[in-house]
Amino acid sequence: MTTDPLILVRGVHFAATLLAAGTTGFIFFVAEPATSKTRFAALYRQLTLWVWFALVVAVISGAVWLVLLASGLLGASIADVCLHGGAWPVLADTRFGLVWCIRFALALSLAGLLPWIATRWLQITIASVFLALPALVGHAGARPGLAGNLHLISDMLHLLAAGAWLGGLPAFAFLLWRERGAAGRGREAIRVVGRFSLLGVFSVGILLASGLLNSWSLLNGPRDLIASDYGRLVALKIALFGAMVAIAAVNKFYLTPRLPKPDALHALLRNSLAEIGLGLVVLTFVALLGTLPPSVHVHAASGGIPSDAAFVHIHTSEVMADVMIEPGRAGRTDVTIRVSREDSSNYPAKDVRLEIDPPTAGGRTIERGAVKQPDGSWLVNDLTLAPSGIWATRVIVQPAAGDPIVLDAPVVIER
């Protein structure tokens, strides 16, 4: 198993994000309607501290994620990135950076609104967007066309459902813990369990449907569940999810009807803590899956990639492009572009142009036409790329008929 620190950081970030959004949802969809006004006021103050804590952890882990990503893209040490502002190009020139900035603003907004219960619907909306946006920088956000849009929507729903159930579990367990030995609160406990159970059933249905769609989008077939590292992790995640659903079923159909008996309440608390533990393991697998390429997204570069080259694969629903810059460091270099269809067959382009923007603000865009080679590739030679950093690359493909197709992606030019 890999020891990449990015996996731990992603896992912590997802856990904090789910806790912040899930606790916010639990407060208004479960706790407020099911408890008395006096008890809810005290509970709201306590759970607000939870949300604040989760938001702080989410922001800090998100910043560490950003630094680790910049370090990997630039091939620089973490100290180098922190001391010389290496994270700024990632913030300014990548989708991850844009999403990071938006989510940071959302976290600040939610934290500022928490003291005012009257803003409940605005809090829920902000928490939902904060929870769903990471789908844009995951595997779902990398797929073009209608299939990619459906996958993106499915992934967002998957995150929202996970937040409602798994993210709300700690608050639910906390409320059950408070109920231990409390006299005269049996009816409130029954209402809380009933409302959270209904929310859980709804969430599980969405998780099942969206999980099936996501697996269909990311795997070539059932064989990948045992034949690839990515598929095996998905299979383990499915198994753990099944265990969580089994525990939830025991809670709903066996323990809930026995409330408010103390033994049933204690068993519900124990099972909820077990669900939280399994959920944390699932989040670890999710963090690891985000660092692995799904088999359906793997595209091999024709002829291999030289060790000193910078390479990026870009695709849309109409055409894919493999862009190889050799050598991939600052100075004089050549760019080879291969354009192909989704099935990797050659795309009959009439013309191909390259535009590449430097990482420094105010730098001049380099624009060059590519020359078609006998092997079907397109060559732009004798470019001077300086300085090093994250360059924004655009490949403009002119088909035999119709409008040009623009493919864009960042590429790292080393020192």
Whether residues 324 and 224 fall in one domain = no
Total count of domains within the chain = 2
End-of-domain residue from the set 241, 276, 297 = 297
Query: CA 218, CA 220: separation in Å to the nearest integer?
Result: 7
Nearest residue to 133 via CA among 47, 214, 21:
21
Nearest 5°: phi and psi at 337? -120, 130
Q: Which residues contact 241 (CB under 8 A, 6 or more apart)?
A: 207, 211, 282
Whether residues 34 and 180 fall in one domain = yes
Whether residues 51 and 189 fall in one domain = yes
Instruction: Please count the CA atoms within 13 angstroms of the CA of 161 that sit on its side-chain side.
Output: 20
Whether residues 292 and 315 fall in one domain = no
End-of-domain residue from the set 297, 322, 339 = 297
Answer whether residue 9 is part of any domain: yes
pLDDT given for residue 215 in this prediction: 76
Mean pLDDT by 10 residues, the chain (415 residues): 74 95 94 86 92 97 87 69 70 80 95 93 96 80 62 89 94 86 66 89 90 76 76 88 91 86 87 93 86 58 72 77 89 91 78 87 83 91 84 88 84 79
User: Position of tokens 């996501």?
Assistant: 214
Answer whether residue 334 is part of any domain: yes
Answer whether residue 303 is part of any domain: no
Nearest 5°: phi and psi at 396? -105, 110
Token pair of 372, please? 């078609």
Q: Would you say how long the chain is, in residues?
A: 415
Whether residues 262 and 400 fall in one domain = no
Residue type for position 289: L
Answer whether residue 302 is part of any domain: no
Whether residues 394 and 247 fall in one domain = no
Q: Print the domain residue range for 384.
A: 310-413
pLDDT given for residue 75 in this prediction: 61
Answer for the pair 259, 269: CB distance below 8 angstroms, yes or no.
no
Whether residues 111 and 216 fall in one domain = yes
Whether residues 289 and 354 fall in one domain = no
Whether residues 234 and 340 fall in one domain = no
Whether residues 361 and 214 fall in one domain = no
- Give residue 311's Cα distance to chain centre: 23
Answer whether residue 123 is part of any domain: yes
Answer whether residue 304 is part of any domain: no
Q: What is the CATH number of the domain that holds 408?
A: 2.60.40.1930
pLDDT given for residue 399 in this prediction: 87
Summarised one tens digit per residue, pLDDT across range 80-136 is 777 766 677 777 767 788 889 999 999 999 999 999 999 999 999 999 999 999 988
Summarised one tens digit per residue, pLDDT across range 145-195 is 566 678 788 889 999 999 999 999 999 999 888 876 555 556 777 888 889
